[in-house]
Amino acid sequence: MNASPISSSSALSAKYTFERVLDVHHWTDRLFTIRCTRSGGFRFANGQFVMMGLEVAGQPIVRAYSMASANYEETLEFFSIKVEQGPLTSRLQHVKVGDSILVGKRPTGTLTISNLRPGNTLWLLATGTGLAPFMSVIKDPETYERFERVVLTHTCRNVDDLAYARFIEHELPSSDLLGELVRPRLLYYPSVTRESFRTTGRITDLLASGRACTDLGLPPLDRSRDRVMLCGNPEMLKETSALLEARGFEEGNSGEPGDYLIEKAFAAK
């Protein structure tokens, strides 16, 4: 793999910083997490994404990536898919501790709580690596100041794909920093579609049938009270948006707060 020195003075430095890989964790043969250094000047809002990737033969191969780390953490974390023939991830999956990755200087994105109207319950609906932006949102104390309750749903094909489950269920609620805020307010609702588990099925179906709300002991989704963020595959986004629109929810974006927000995590080519 082509690892550039941290001090590289290449033209890439205008748009990217070279960050050193500190840790790589392979959840499955399709999913991994990279933790890397964070430049002092890199500021972002929880829920945003940035261009991230590798320098290959002097050229950047970069893709959009949500920060899975919160904006107050000293290091950056990215939760990634491995696409066999993918220009970036076929290479990125082989990075090792000490290698360099490129991180863009301009984070952006709509999945921030500032783009939502006030509400009581915040629903964070993720499929696959769409979980990444919500990892930073659930670690943000402001999330719990703005919302009385936070529901994080994560739907994957298999149980092993439910990355971060242990952190969400055990480590975050018992952390010194956020445990007290998180324990009474964060509800985690994982489901899988291709094997047996305590909850099976697509989140769209689980919401449409009312089962998700029943399981969680919550009333049906209602615009007067609930706010929603969506991140994941295109079908989930399309179907859930339709379900929300049918109930009167209005989509928001940067500068125009709404009842729900969308980010497309799976770039369709």
Ligand X SMILES: Cc1cc2nc3c(=O)[nH]c(=O)nc-3n(C[C@H](O)[C@H](O)[C@H](O)COP(=O)(O)OP(=O)(O)OC[C@H]3O[C@@H](n4cnc5c(N)ncnc54)[C@H](O)[C@@H]3O)c2cc1C
Task: Tell me the closest approach of the beta carbon of residue 134 to ligand X, in angstroms.
Answer: 10
Provide the mask over 113-142, with x wherever binding to ligand X is found by CB under 6 A and - wherever it is not: ---------------xx--x----------
56 counts as binding ligand X under rule CB under 6 A: no
Q: Dihedral, CA atoms, 236, 242, 247, 251, nearest 10 degrees?
A: 80
Task: Tell me the closest approach of the beta carbon of residue 223 to ligand X, in angstroms.
Answer: 25
Q: Which two tokens stand for residue 53?
A: 């990737």
With contact defined as beta carbons under 8 Å apart, do 51 and 65 qualify?
yes
The amino acid occupying position 41 is G
64 counts as binding ligand X under rule CB under 6 A: yes
Between 66 and 240, whose beta carbon lies closer to ligand X?
66
Between 207 and 231, whose beta carbon lies closer to ligand X?
231
Q: Dihedral, CA atoms, 186, 187, 189, 190, nearest 10 degrees?
A: 40
**Beta strand 31-36 pairing with 16-26:** antiparallel
Q: Which two tokens stand for residue 75?
A: 């290091």
Contacting ligand X within 73-92 (CB under 6 A)? 79-81, 83, 86-90
CA–CA dist 45, 164 (Å, integer): 21
Q: Which two tokens stand for residue 118?
A: 């006030």
Between 178 and 231, whose beta carbon lies closer to ligand X?
231
Coil vs helix vs strand at 157: coil
Q: Which residue is nearest to ligand X (CB)?
A: 86
Task: Tell me the closest approach of the beta carbon of residue 81 to ligand X, in angstroms.
Answer: 4
Of 49, 147, 188, 249, the one binding ligand X by CB under 6 A? 49
66 counts as binding ligand X under rule CB under 6 A: yes
Task: Tell me the closest approach of the beta carbon of residue 220 to ligand X, in angstroms.
Answer: 29
**Beta strand 186-192 pairing with 226-232:** unpaired
Q: Mark 120-129 as b/e (b = at least 16 C-beta within 10 Å).
A: ebbbbbbbbb
Coil vs helix vs strand at 108: strand
Between 92 and 221, whose beta carbon lies closer to ligand X?
92
100 counts as binding ligand X under rule CB under 6 A: no
Coil vs helix vs strand at 254: coil
Task: Tell me the closest approach of the beta carbon of residue 114 to ligand X, in angstroms.
Answer: 17
Q: Nearest to residue 24, comparing CAs of 78, 63, 75, 70? A: 78
32 counts as binding ligand X under rule CB under 6 A: no
Contacting ligand X within 161-220 (CB under 6 A)? none
Residue span binding ligand X (CB under 6 A) among the ranges 61-69, 158-166, 190-198, 205-213: 61-69
Question: Which residues of this chain interact with ligand X, rule CB under 6 A?
Answer: 49, 63-66, 79-81, 83, 86-90, 128-129, 132, 263-269
